[in-house]
Amino acid sequence: MSRVDGLVQDGSARLGWGPALATVVRMDVQQRLRSHTWFIMLAVWFVVIGLVTWGAFASFNVLSAEEPVGPGAGRFVFEAVVGFVLFFGLLVAPAVSASTISGGRSGGTLAVMQVTLLTPGQLLLGKWLASWIAALAFLATALPYIVVAMSMGGLDVSGLVVFVAMVAVELGVVCAVGTAASAVADRTLFAVVVTYLLVALFTFGTLVSFALTMPLTQTTIPANNPRWAVAEGEVAPEGPETCFGPLVPQTAYDTRTTYWVLAANPFVVVSDAVPTPARVPYDADDPDTWAPDGVMTTISFGVRYLQRPPEMNVLCAHGEPAEPGDEEAWRGTPVWPLGLGLQCVVAGGLLAWGRFRLSTPAARLPRGHRVA
């Protein structure tokens, strides 16, 4: 080996996080970048989002009836694009993340990395970052359409930035779950399926459990009859002016105890984190300013609505007319920190398990090595 000496070895130094992560990420990202299918997928994706943008724009024109480009078109189209990117990202992120470590296990490359100075935490974090970067490529591909939506006007930049950032965060959470699952699972297929199931649990499971618990929240509110003072040619005000008659129990749902189930839904997390946009005010004199809410704003409003006390959903509850302005003043409490927290607990727990499974010398034999 005289030909290859001249190497000074540091006997005590450990591998720093910087070079460790940079190397793991580089290896992973370069592997992906050199596959043609990757670029074909991104190209298809670019076309598909183009169609979604066009479709959202067309339906906005129908919904806003008269004026071809209303002031809110940008917001509406943008939310459609963001919602679709999030939806598709939730489908893509497990695929790009859940094959990383288990794939290396079956390919024999994982053990080769494990015998280097790389720690299990560095390996796991590096693989996570790499898969996150891959998932973010899908978000980046959609950016031109976001610019198109901006050009339509009606978009506040801060909301836009929060939207894109929250989608990126959600993709990161899903990639963390996928990477951790691939570290835990012996087989790639199993890791991918587990990740999809967890994503489905967050996305649909939250909806299903909310719907199933809904009847349990049924309650009755004593209420009587409302009377509106409507003058000729006027549009009805928000609430009844007076209430009259005997109090009769009325059915209502008190979802204040169950709405939080929806918090972990990725769509809720993203839409709820965005500051409520300044709504184009309903103006009886100028109906052309009416702008339909985008899909994400609708979701956010929906979750906030579920936080209201049941009295607010019953006219003349306890025989009292609602305070004028209560409806508009209702903002609810943000649920996205709770939702993101729940998601992070799941992802963090899985990552800890994955790290344990990557620790060597292993007490348990990693798959891909046969026994003896």
If the CB atoms of residues 331 and 364 are measured against other proteins, the closer one turns out to be 364
- Nearest 5 degrees, angle CA 88-CA 298-CA 139? 25
Site for other proteins in 18-77 (CB under 8 A): 19-20, 22-24, 26-27, 30-31, 34-35
If the CB atoms of residues 31 and 298 are measured against other proteins, the closer one turns out to be 31
Q: How far apart are the first and last CA of the chain?
A: 31
Write down the least CB distance from residue 301 to other proteins, Å: 46
Distance CA 310, CA 262 (A): 18
Site for other proteins in 107-166 (CB under 8 A): 107-118
Distance CA 187, CA 192 (A): 9
If the CB atoms of residues 161 and 365 are measured against other proteins, the closer one turns out to be 365
Distance CA 128, CA 121 (A): 10
Q: Please name the amino acid found at residue 262.
A: L
List the one residue out of 245, 280, 25, 241 whose CA is nearest residue 129: 25
What Cα–Cα distance (Å) separates residue 165 from each residue in 135, 151, 169? Answer: 13, 20, 6
If the CB atoms of residues 38 and 88 are measured against other proteins, the closer one turns out to be 38
C-alpha atoms less than 13 angstroms from C-alpha of 73 in its C-beta half-sphere: 25
If the CB atoms of residues 107 and 237 are measured against other proteins, the closer one turns out to be 107
Write down the least CB distance from residue 273 to other proteins, Å: 37
Contact letters for other proteins, residues 238-277 (x by CB under 8 A): ----------------------------------------
If the CB atoms of residues 102 and 297 are measured against other proteins, the closer one turns out to be 102
**Span from 63-71, 196-204, 313-321, 354-362 in contact with other proteins (CB under 8 A):** 354-362
Distance CA 204, CA 196 (A): 11
Interacting residue ranges for other proteins, rule: CB under 8 A:
1-5, 7-11, 13-16, 19-20, 22-24, 26-27, 30-31, 34-35, 104, 107-118, 360-363, 365-366, 368-372
